Amino acid sequence: MNKSPKGLSKNKNKKSIKNEDLKNISGGRVRFPESPAEPDEIRRILDERR
């Protein structure tokens, strides 16, 4: 039987597990716009999420 690729493997290091946990908490991957956003725009978006 094939193992599902999303299952935690014993060889995974703590850093990758931590990154996956952060992705799960944030509700999936954040898609960044192709054009770089202004710093003020980034701060506004982050303030809205709090």
In DSSP notation, 4-47 reads PTTSPPTT--HHHHHHHHHHHHHTSPPPPPSSPPPHHHHHHHHH
The tokens describing 7, both together, are 């299952």
What per-residue confidence (pLDDT) applies to 45?
83
Is the Cβ–Cβ distance between 27 and 18 less than 8 Å? no
Q: State the average pLDDT over residues 26-49.
A: 71
What per-residue confidence (pLDDT) applies to 40?
85
pLDDT tens per residue, range 9-35: 555 566 666 666 655 555 555 666 566
What per-residue confidence (pLDDT) applies to 12?
59
**pTM more than 0.75:** no
- DSSP helix/strand/coil, 49: helix
